[in-house]
Structure 1
Amino acid sequence: MYNKIMVPVDLAHLEALEKPLTVAADMAKHYHAALCYVGVTTSQPSSVARTPEEYEQKLKAFAHEHAPDNGLEPSARVYNSHDPVTDLDDILLKAIGEVEADLVVMGTHLPHHIDAIMPANGSKVAAHTNVSVFLVRP
């Protein structure tokens, strides 16, 4: 049913990714699908990496550590942005097409009133793509 599962990853907030990573790995095993971990970073030094190249190395290592043993090589894709928070939704939508994902598994927060003004990343991605989006609550 699914061939390529895209998983957005924020290396600065790994503690919030446990459930989405588990769901993505389980689905990849079940459907014998490849996983692609996608990260968005800036060219400015951060708490995670000093450069986009260092971020990419860390994301690739992360992909190999967290991918299921289903016989398929995981991939990692890094996108650079001047403002990752503002650009995140558009970058994820672009990445879906570029990595040829047919399923996106991503974490989300519990609904809040502010979502009426500023929708969560997952809801915007789901509303603007034609692929399935599985939002995993904490």
Structure 2
Amino acid sequence: MFNKILVPVDLAHKELLKPSLDLAADLAKLYQADTCYISVTANTPGALAKTPEEYAQKLEAFAKEQGQLHGQVVNSKVITSPDPIADMDDAIIQGIHDTNADLVIMTTHLPRRLDIVMPSTGGKVASHTDVSVFLVRHSG
């Protein structure tokens, strides 16, 4: 049913991703699908990395760790942006096209009043692509 699963990752909040990561691993095993972890980073120094290349190395290490944990071959993709927060939705949508993903599994947050004015990333990704999007609710 699915061939390529895309999992958006924020390395600054890895502890919140476990339910999404586990689900992606389970579905990848079930459908013998490839998994790609994607992340968006700034093209300027940040708290996690001084360069996009350093961030890409950290994401690759994270992906490799997940692959070993779940016994799967995985890969990673970093998209750089001058403003990762503002460009997150479009970067994930671009990542879907770049990787030929047919399923996105992503962590989301509980709805807030602000979502009326600024829709969630998951909602935009789901409404602006033709792939399935599985939102894993984070309660925090």
Helix, strand or coil for the counterpart of 1:137?
A: strand
Residues 108-119 of structure 1: matches in 2 within 5 Å?
A: 108-119=108-119
Q: What does 1:3-82 align with in structure 2 at a 5 Å threshold?
A: 3-67=3-67, 68-70=70-72, 73-82=73-82
Q: Give me the TM-score of the superposition, normalised by structure 2.
A: 0.94
| Gapped regions of structure 1 (runs ≥ 5) | none
- TM-score, normalising length: structure 1: 0.95
CA contact (8 A) 1:41 1:80 kept: yes
Contact 1:20/1:136, CA 8 A, preserved across alignment: yes
Shift of 1:123: 0.6
**Is the Cα contact below 8 Å between 1:29 and 1:69 reproduced in 2?**
no
Shift of 1:51: 0.6
Question: How far apart, CA to CA, are the structure 1 residues paired with 2:117 and 2:19?
Answer: 27
Q: 2:84 maps to which residue?
A: 84
CA displacement at 1:24 relative to structure 2: 0.7
Paired positions, count: 136
Range with bigger deviation, 98-107 or 111-120: 111-120
Distance (whole Å) between structure 2 residues aligned to residue 133 and residue 115 of structure 1: 18
Farther-moved stretch of structure 1 (80-89 vs 109-118):
109-118
Q: Aligned-pair distance for 1:15?
A: 1.4
Residue 43 of structure 1, CA deviation = 1.7
Report the equivalent of 2:133. Answer: 133
Alpha-carbon offset, residue 114 of structure 1: 1.5
Find runs of 4+ consecutive structure 1 residues off by over 2 angstroms.
none
State the percentage of identical aligned residues: 53
Give unpaired runs (5+ residues) of structure 2.
Answer: none
More strand, by proportion: 2
